[in-house]
Amino acid sequence: MKNWLAPTTLKGNIVDLMPLQQEHRTALLSAAENGQLWELWYTSVPSKETIQKYLDTALEAQRKGLALPFVVVNKTDNKIIGTTRYCNVNSANKRLEIGYTWYAKDFHRTGVNTECKYLLLKNAFEKLETIAVEFRTNWHNHPSRNAILRLGAKQDGVLRSHRVDTDGCLRDTVVFSIIESEWKIVKKALEFQINKYK
């Protein structure tokens, strides 16, 4: 199961997901500057001061088989507009989480997130034969919680005082999931939503 998450490119209609690399540093910073996304206290978007550690951490997790990070490429102009990844990978039990997702502000509410998640979920369930896909977010990140619910995920529960954030605050984490038996109907719903953006 060591190579369960081999780097791959996932191609969509409006975006492609390509394996994250160190050379994407400048493009990711430019995307994050669109909306000064690092100022959102309830999420983790890199700034000039944190981008190198962000990349190093993501790529180290990939080397350990615990993650597979992607950049999100807008097909209209071939520019990087954000990032997402498979993370908290449990190869033995064929479970993973989709997280660390953010997009330049200009691409919020445009269909980008729906297509990204569709590509990741389709690959997870149809190629990797994943049993369950999790989504986790900060209790206070209501836009993210609503977006996860719109995907068709169900809320499993809340991990109270789940972790200590960088500023010392205790974070409550909301956990959602989609399981393999639900993928067929979730896929149908996502394809319906995607077709609205064509």
- Tallying the residues shown for the chain, one arrives at 198
SS3 42: coil
Q: Is 150 helix (H, G, I), strand (E, B) or coil?
A: helix
What per-residue confidence (pLDDT) applies to 110? 86
The whole model's pTM is what?
Answer: 0.91
For residues 176 and 12, what is the distance between their CA atoms, to the nearest angstrom? 24
- Rounded Cα distance between 99 and 36, Å, is 19
Say how far apart CA 195 and CA 111 lie, in whole Å: 10
* pLDDT (tens digit per residue) in 54-74: 999 999 999 999 999 999 999
**pLDDT over threshold 80, residue 38:** no
pLDDT for res 37: 55
Q: Where are the domains of the chain?
A: 10-195
Mean pLDDT of 147-153: 92
Range 18-30 average pLDDT: 96
Looking at 2.40.128.20, 1.10.3720.10, 3.40.50.2300, 3.40.630.30, the CATH number of the domain 10-195 comes to 3.40.630.30
Share of the chain above pLDDT 70, in %: 93
To which residue do tokens 């944190």 refer? 50
**Predicted confidence (pLDDT) at residue 35 exceeds the cutoff of 80:** no
CB-count burial class (<10 Å; 0-12, 13-18, 19+) for 17: buried
* CB-CB neighbours of 118 under 10 Å: 21
Predicted pLDDT at 102:
92
pLDDT tens digits for range 90-149: 999 999 999 999 999 898 878 899 999 999 999 999 999 999 999 999 999 898 899 899
DSSP annotation of 169:
P
* Residue 114 to residues 25, 32, 43, 65, Cα–Cα distance (Å): 24, 19, 19, 26
